[in-house]
Every structure is written in structure tokens, then in C-alpha cells.
Structure 1
Amino acid sequence: MTNADVELCHNKHDIDSTTSPLISAVMFGAGIFGNVAALVILEIRRRRNTRTGETRRHSLFHVLITSLVVTDLAGTCLVSPLVQWSYSHNTTLVGMSPDTRSVCWYFGVTMTFFSLATMLLLFTMALERSVAIGYPYLYSRHVTKKCAYITIPLVFFLCMLFCLLPFAGFGKIVQYCPGTWCFIDMNPAESKQKVYATLYATIMLVLVLAIVACNGFVVYQLFRMYQRRKRNCGSVMANTRSNSERRVMSMAEEVEHLILLVFMTIIFIMCTLPLVVR
């Protein structure tokens, strides 16, 4: 795509009639259905754990994963309807507010905020699992549900600060073809705009690598746990674990959480990596 084509995408007011809204509509519906289904499953599991007396054991991970699902659901509801409205009226986001481009800026800032927030929350979950399985004594003594109530607002605050930088002239939001979405300018002319785009990509890449590293550490610790249990099977040592080890989840539960983390990591990487590479 030439510079003239890119500039046309940034400023066009009408959507090409040949462009179909089917893919975006399917993604919107899948996002809503998936997140609502996840919330229902989490609530069912929370009630089951309450009945069995395991609320304390699962509370922190439950708070983190619930916040992740709610955040992703909020991002979908705040962004995707604009895409459908744009298609239905054959008007681009810039065309909705040609003078101020406020709709385009809203869309771009919202996308940036929720992409960063969801990835940071996913990293927090991966880090929590790493500490829980790798350092059970430290986890049982110092990591509580209150940590989530501090971490989650801090994540949102840092993401908001980053997203407000374009309003101070550091970074730029532009429209992309077919005119139904806006995001950080990935080919800016000014150096400070380039720094902002590169900073976003670097943060996302570091988070992806950190999540993969945490998940790899959990896999290693689970393998060591399996080896210890295999060695101690049938011996007295199998029944003399410390109190801190009793408080962490069983190996089967850890594997279940690891599979969930890996699955969500793959989804978020597939959604964000093309922009990060670009």
C-alpha cells in the first residue's frame, strides 16, 4: 500500500460497498457469548467451591480471572457496536465526526487501553500461578486476595496514563481501512509518534515473553512435583508435606489452571501479535 493509499484510509468518510460486515459481526457475537459463558462458569465454580469449603484456596485466582473476563467483555461492548453502526450507515469513524475526529480517537484510545489491560491482567495471572506453584510458603504467607484488589486498579491506572499520552502530543490515533477502526499510527512521520508506537509494541512484546516464561516455569515446577510424588509414592514421606504445601492447589488443579492460561495466552497473542510486529 502506497503512502497515498494510507493517507486515503486515514481520511476517508465512506465505506466501500463491497466490504462485508459479516466477519466483524461474528467476532462481536463470539466475544459476547464467550465472555458471558466464562462468567457463568466462574460463578458456578465459585458456588461449588463455597459449598466444599475451598473458597480461600481459589479466591485470588478467581478474582484475577473474573477481572480479565469482565475487562475483555467491557472492551468488546465499548468498541464493537461502533463497527456495526459504521457498516450499517456506510460511514467511517472519521466520517462520524469529521471536524474533531472524536469518534476515531475514542475508538483508538479504547482499543489501546483494553489491549494493554487484558495483557497485563493475563501476565498477573501467570505470575500468580508461578509464585503459587514455585514458592508455596511465600505464597501462603504473603499473597492474599487483597493483592488483587490493589493490582487490578493499578493496572487500569497505568494503562490509562499510557492511553492519555496522545492527547499530550506524544503519539497519534489514525483511521485504518476500511474505515471501521482506529488505532495508534504505526507509520508516523514524526519521531515522537514513532517512539510511542514502538513503546506500545515493546510493552506488548515484553508482556508476551514474560507470560510465556511464567507458564514455562509452572510447567517445570509441575514436572518436578510429579517426579517427587512418583518417588515418594507409597512411602511415609508422601503424607508429611508441610503446611504451606497443603494450602496450594493439587497438581490436577494446577494443570487445569495452566491449560486455561495457555489457551488464553494463545488467543491474545493471535489477536495482538500482528499489530505488535507491524
Structure 2
Amino acid sequence: MNGSDDTPLCYANTSTPYIYYPDMGKIYFSAVFSGLGLTSNLIAFIVLIKSCQRTRSLSRSFFLIFLAGLVVTDFMGLLVTGSFVVSFYITHVDWRVSDPTCHFCNFMGMSMVFYGLCPLMLGATMAVERFIGINCPFARSTNITKGRTVSMVLMVWLFAGCISLLPLTGFGSYHIQTPGSWCFLNISPERHDWAFSLLFSFVGLICITVSILLNTVSVVTLIKVCCGPDRNQRRRDHEVEMMVQLILIMTIATVCWCPLLVFIAQTALSGSPMSVRYLLLWIRFATWNQILDPWVYILFRRSVLKRVNPRIDWSRRSSVISLYASFSGNIRRFTRSSLGGNLGSDGTENMEKSNMAPPSTVKPSHSSA
């Protein structure tokens, strides 16, 4: 459809021709996709509430607040966007006729941008919080409270909301996309559309980059503390669990969102015509992030992992620390026995007690000589 003076902006695409094609997709796929995501996030939210009531760790409660914000964002994103898509396949409505003022199209585009950026920004915020909590625990415990944690989540929502409102001020624009079930930012050579496309792409890529860098440093620091000589001074079970969950959230966001963000940046910078086929493909790929995120917390908890491997004492130490202690203890006993048992039984027992925690989890090896 070519643009003209009497054609609303959201229907006068300047990048690719809009094709009204309600038979292009199937309602069953969209309905199952949305239902699975909504159910997953609802289950995760219930689990988070129960965990928040039981937890006694202050750092853990802060992390649960961020997770709750992520789950609520994913749930609302699927609810809003899924309602538009499913209703389109049920009614086969043509938005050019039913929404000549572009109100619904702009709202749909704002929702796509807002609920797309929020998970990436929350992931980066969680990475910053974990980086400070692991590397500067004293500064974190004195400066961060539950109220400030909630404020940080609200600030992320506010910042993402401000970006999504920019096209309404003339900086960028939202346009209906083929097959007519959704609206998104317009990737065109026009200055404002070009700048807004790059803004959306670069904000997402920067959040992913920050998450990767800070989480890498946090993991290295946590491994050093867990496996170092001072590993008995501080409990690290909750911190290991939180880092595992955060790494998985970061990995899912990177795999799901990087193709779309790179595609938008590449198309905008090259000035080449946008491929509708690839845009649909990467959008669907990115939406999997909202479905997979809640299963990270549902499945990767110590209570669940304990059932998978009950031989590890998950209640007293995390899996990483327990495996390390067990492995290092066996290596020490094997090495000492191979050397001829130069150390006495009392010395062996004292050495193991000083290097492994808790003492009750490892039986002292007595020399039979």
C-alpha cells in the first residue's frame, strides 16, 4: 500500500509493502504459544512468592524481587501481544479499516518495544546487582534495601517505557507488519526511523554485553572464593544458585534476541531493503525468551536439583562446593595412601577438617599401618 496524504502513517510503510494475509499463520500455533508462555510465567510467579516467604537470605530476597519483575514483564508481554495476534486470526480484522487513527497499531508497537527491552534491561540490572554482591558484599549490604531494589525494577520499566513512547513524539514510527496481526518499529532510510531502529538495537545489545561481562567476572570471583583457602568463612550456597540461574537467563536472552537486534542494526546501517521473512523469523525467535525464562527458576532450584541427584548434600552446601569438597578429599586420601601413609591418622583428620567444610560431611581416613 503506497503512502498518500490521506493514508495514516502506520499503514503507509516506507520500508516494505504491507501485505494483508490472514491465512499466512495458524491460530493454533499462536494460541498454544501464548498459552504455554502464560502458564509457565504464572507457575514461576507462584514459586517465587513461596520462595520469597521462606528465604532468610537478604541477598536472595533481592534477587527474587528482580526475578519477580522479570516474570511479571514476560507474563504481561505475552498477554498483551498474544491477545492482539490471536484476535486477528479469529476475526481476520483489517486494521486499516477498524483502526484508521492508528491507536491500536501504536499501542501494539509500544508493547513490542517495551516488553522486548525490559527483559534485557532487567538482566543487565541483575548482573550489576550480583557483581556488586559478590565483589563488594559490604558496600552492597549497607546501600541496597528491598525498597531500593523495587525502585530499580520500576526505573527499568520507566526507562523502557520512555523509549517506547518516542515514536509518538515523532522520533521513529510504528507501522503495521505482514500479515497484519502486529505492529513494530519501521526500519526505513528516513532519519527518525533510522535513528530509532538503531537506538532499539543498540540498547538491547549493550544490555546483553554488560550482562556477559559482569556475569563472567562474577563467576570467576565466585569460583575463586568457593575453591580458595577462605571458602569456609562464608556460605555460598545461595550465591552459587543465583549465579547459575542468572547465567541461564543471560544465555537464553542472548540466543533469542541477538539475531533480531543484529538484523535490525545491519538493515538500518546498510540501507538495504528489509526482508519481511527474516523479520518474522527473528521476532518469533525472540518471543521464545518469554517462554523459556520462567523455566530457569522453576527447574534450576536446589529443591529440584536435590531430587535429581539426592546423593549430594544440597541442603548444607551447593552442588559446586559439595562436588569440589568430595573430589578434593578423595584426591588427598589417594595421594597420601600412595605415598606410604607418612601422615598419621590424627594429622590426616586435622588436615581434612581444616580444608573441607562442613567437617561432618567427610569421614576421616585412618591409616591401617
Shorter-chain TM-score range: 0.7 to 0.9
Contact 1:117 1:155 in 2 (8 A): yes
State the secondary structure of the residue aligned to 1:8.
Answer: coil
Closer/same/farther in 2, CA of residues 34 and 40 from structure 1, 3 Å limit: same
Q: In structure 2, what is the Cα distance between the partners aligned to 1:269 and 1:175?
A: 26
Name the counterpart of 2:82.
Answer: 80
Name the counterpart of 1:146.
Answer: 147
1:266 equivalent in alignment to 2:251: yes
Closer/same/farther in 2, CA of residues 57 and 18 from structure 1, 3 Å limit: closer
Q: In structure 2, what is the Cα distance between the partners aligned to 1:18 and 1:135?
A: 53
Contact 1:94 1:104 in 2 (8 A): no
Q: In structure 1, what is the Cα distance between the partners aligned to 2:101 and 2:255?
A: 33
Q: In structure 1, what is the Cα distance between the partners aligned to 2:168 and 2:257?
A: 23
Name the counterpart of 2:305.
Answer: none
Residue 61 of structure 1 aligns to which amino acid in structure 2?
F
Closer/same/farther in 2, CA of residues 191 and 213 from structure 1, 3 Å limit: same
Question: Rg: which structure is higher?
Answer: 2
Q: In structure 1, what is the Cα distance between the partners aligned to 2:236 and 2:212?
A: 20
Name the counterpart of 2:198.
Answer: 198
Contact 2:124 2:207 in 1 (8 A): yes
The percent identity for this pair of structures is 25
Residue 31 of structure 2 aligns to which amino acid in structure 1?
A
Residue 77 of structure 2 aligns to which amino acid in structure 1?
G
Query: What does 1:235-246 align with in structure 2 at a 5 Å threshold?
Result: 238=232, 241=233, 246=234
Pick aligned residue for 1:8 from 17, 30, 46: 17
Residue 212 of structure 1 aligns to which amino acid in structure 2?
I
Residue 138 of structure 2 aligns to which amino acid in structure 1?
Y
- TM-score by length of structure 2 reads 0.63
Name the counterpart of 1:47.
Answer: 53
1:253 equivalent in alignment to 2:238: yes
Alpha-carbon offset, residue 110 of structure 1: 0.9
Contact 1:176 1:183 in 2 (8 A): yes
Contact 2:63 2:242 in 1 (8 A): no
Query: Is there any run of 5+ residues in structure 2 with no aligned partner, and where?
Result: 1-12, 264-369
Name the counterpart of 1:157.
Answer: 158
- TM-score by length of structure 1 reads 0.83
1:23 equivalent in alignment to 2:24: no
Query: What does 1:90-105 align with in structure 2 at a 5 Å threshold?
Result: 90-97=92-99, 99-105=100-106
Contact 1:204 1:276 in 2 (8 A): yes
Query: Is there any run of 5+ residues in structure 1 with no aligned partner, and where?
Result: none
Name the counterpart of 1:174.
Answer: 175
Residue 17 of structure 2 aligns to which amino acid in structure 1?
L
1:63 equivalent in alignment to 2:65: yes
Contact 2:37 2:78 in 1 (8 A): yes
Name the counterpart of 2:216.
Answer: 216
Alpha-carbon offset, residue 91 of structure 1: 2.5
State the secondary structure of the residue aligned to 1:27.
Answer: helix
Contact 2:208 2:254 in 1 (8 A): yes
Q: In structure 2, what is the Cα distance between the partners aligned to 1:170 and 1:182?
A: 16
Alpha-carbon offset, residue 5 of structure 1: 11
- Name whichever of 268-277 and 134-143 sits farther off: 268-277
Q: In structure 2, what is the Cα distance between the partners aligned to 1:189 and 1:232?
A: 58
Q: Give per-residue Cα distances to partners, 1:139-159, cap 9 Å, x unaligned.
A: 122122122132122222222
Contact 1:107 1:181 in 2 (8 A): yes
Q: Which has the higher contact order (CA 8 A, sep 6+)?
A: 1
1:108 equivalent in alignment to 2:112: no
Q: In structure 2, what is the Cα distance between the partners aligned to 1:165 and 1:6?
A: 19
Extract structure 1 runs of 4+ deviating beyond 4 A: 92-95
Name the counterpart of 1:130.
Answer: 131
Contact 1:173 1:183 in 2 (8 A): yes
Contact 1:122 1:265 in 2 (8 A): yes
Alpha-carbon offset, residue 108 of structure 1: 0.6
Contact 1:96 1:103 in 2 (8 A): no
Contact 1:86 1:93 in 2 (8 A): no
